[in-house]
Amino acid sequence: MTEVVHCLFIAREGKPPLVVNLTKTYTVTVSAPKTLTVARNTKRYVTKGMTTAGVAGMAVLYGENGAGKTSAMIDMATVFGDNRKFKTAGGLYEKNGKLFVRPGKALQRYAIVGKEGDIQKSDDQLRCLSVFYTTSPFDADRRRRLGNNHWVRDVSPAYGERNTFDGLSLLKVRDQLQMPFLDHASIRIRLLVRSVSNSMIAISNQMGNTRNPHVPLVRRKVMEAAADLPEHEQMQLRCWLSLFVVAHERKSRAFPAKFVRQLDLFPKSADSRGDLYELWKTVIRATFRCMKKDDVVQVMELLQLLSQPEFSKRLAERYTPAELQAMIALRLPGRNESLRQCTELGVLEFSLSGLSSGETAHAIIFASLYGGLERMSREGGQHPVFLLLDEGEMFLHPSWQRVYIDKLLEFVRHMRKLKGRLYLLLATHSLIVAADAPPYSLVNVSSGEQVNGFGLGPRSTLADVYKVAVFQGKSSETEFKRIEAFINAPRRQDYEPIRKLTEALADVHVRKFLEQQVAEALERCRA
């Protein structure tokens, strides 16, 4: 089944919907009274870079702070998701050569007019997977909206004391993209197998009964029973409980009723060790219900291997990417899949240090995207996949912003399983990124206008795209106005400060011109 997403429509309070044209195959216009017109675009142009990368469509959102770029990106990520509550956006899509419009909240009560044949109005459950990345640590609403959608993978970095990231994916993209600074990176690995006590706290937190006075007693009795186990069994129990907790967290599943009943037996248990073994069996059975059998076996084997003293020492070491790759090949051959699963589950954590903030951001972006897209490619089928980056260039030097889109296209080219069905959606404040966007792919979230920034210079981008007429910053503009005021109404006592100000100008041509204007103004003053 061929599925192509041509346009997305984002609902805006009190305004017509925001039209985000991804493929430019059709021109889509919104007119009064509430009419959406779709016509074939005869001037469509796709850059060679997009064609080579196999990108099905692309759009770059921009606008003032507070315009709603991040909110629009979240709407796009969830437009064809599985959570109806957050499916507010609409879409124009194609299945087997037929055009459909999913109105969503954005196109409620809109008349759809097609100049290229009939367009069917449909709320059909087109499946569209999304990988979402943002540099912003402030949007808690994003986690709520995306976390409830099983077709969206939020791979945004978690901000904290350590720069945590997908270490295995970094090794993959290091081989694909030229990032020589990674040779100096320092990577640490941490095994996050909870203690029995911490697992019990996590369980009571998930059950929402932390204030029940019965809970601390249950927890203490379970911990006492676990403390009587042989050391190797204690570690096995810790691994199973940790996996049990994260598996239920990931699936948003409640703990089984039998497990809850067995917890209640502990305060009055005559055979606490026997009850602990029964609880353990229930944990194992419940974990197998949350995950595939082979996955559980692989993950548990790896967790128990990494828990051994010899590996504990190795995990405490720091590695360069090359050293980490060599260690995995030597010590953990054939375990890449179980390493990946442990990373996705959050029981294995990689942290990065030794790089600048820009280098760290650059590395984590591509490692995160690779991990998310790799997971989506394993979902099967030939469904569309959205790759959404909200201000991914934020920490990058202008020289790296120049290659931002080029690197993304090069990166996407290696995701061969997604070729022809991957859509690239960016949000940016960068003049360089905006001017590097493909023709007519810029969308002004503030005005709703779709514009062409392709190949514009910095001054034109600032004026024509961002609508900022003055290139200078506000501070230097104030100084320029002092010069302008002197030229228009010169006073002798002001000449010397103004002369020094013009001498300080960095632009040679502007400086010579203004020095001449200031001198002429002084002559007028003397006359």
Query: What's 370's domain CATH number?
Result: 3.40.50
- Both 314 and 396 in one domain: the answer is no
Q: Cα separation of 458 and 476, whole Å?
A: 18
**Domains identified in the chain, total number:** 3
pLDDT truncated to tens, each residue of the chain (527 aa)?
578 999 999 988 888 899 999 999 999 988 878 888 899 998 888 899 999 999 999 999 998 888 888 888 888 888 876 666 666 788 899 888 888 988 888 888 888 888 666 788 776 667 788 899 988 766 667 777 776 677 888 888 876 656 677 888 998 888 888 888 888 899 998 899 999 999 998 888 888 775 565 688 888 888 989 999 999 999 999 999 999 999 998 877 889 999 988 888 888 878 888 989 999 999 999 999 999 999 999 999 999 999 888 887 788 789 999 999 999 999 999 998 899 899 888 899 888 889 988 888 888 899 999 988 988 887 767 889 999 999 988 888 888 899 999 999 999 999 988 999 999 999 999 989 999 999 999 999 988 888 888 888 777 888 888 887 766 788 888 888 888 899 999 888 889 989 898 888 888 888 898 889 999 988 888 76
- Both 332 and 209 in one domain: the answer is yes
Q: Is residue 112 part of a domain?
A: yes
Q: Cα separation of 55 and 176, whole Å?
A: 18
Q: Among 20, 126, 155, 138, which Cα is nearest to 381's?
A: 126
Please answer whether residues 425 and 392 qualify as being in contact, where contact means their C-beta atoms are separated by less than 8 angstroms.
no
Encode 373-402: b = buried (16+ Cβ within 10 Å), e = exposed.
Answer: bbbbeeeeeebbbbbbbbbbbbbbeeebbb
User: Within 13 Å, how many C-alpha atoms sit on residue 81's CB side?
Assistant: 26
Give Cβ neighbours of residue 254 (< 8 Å, ≥ 6 apart): 248
- Both 241 and 127 in one domain: the answer is no
Contacts 24+ apart (CB under 8 A), 307-311: 307/191, 307/193, 307/235, 307/238, 307/239
Across the chain, which distance is largest between two alpha carbons, in Å?
111
Helices and strands (H, E) in the chain, number of each type: 21, 18
Q: Which two tokens stand for residue 289?
A: 């219900």
Q: Is residue 180 part of a domain?
A: no
Q: Is residue 244 part of a domain?
A: yes
Q: Cα separation of 234 and 91, whole Å?
A: 53
Residue 487 belongs to domain spanning? 474-526
- Both 367 and 325 in one domain: the answer is no
Q: Is residue 212 part of a domain?
A: yes
Which residue, chain included where needed, has tokens 């919104």? Answer: 30
Q: Cα separation of 231 and 307, whole Å?
A: 12
CA dihedral of residues 20, 24, 27, 32 (deg, nearest 10): 0
Q: Is residue 166 part of a domain?
A: no
The runs of H, that is alpha helices, within 96-186 are 140-147, 167-176
Q: Is residue 176 part of a domain?
A: no
- Both 320 and 402 in one domain: the answer is no
Please answer whether residues 425 and 44 qualify as being in contact, where contact means their C-beta atoms are separated by less than 8 angstroms.
no
Q: Which two tokens stand for residue 423?
A: 């859509």
The model carries a pTM of 0.84
- Distance from the Cα of residue 124 to its chain's centroid: 27
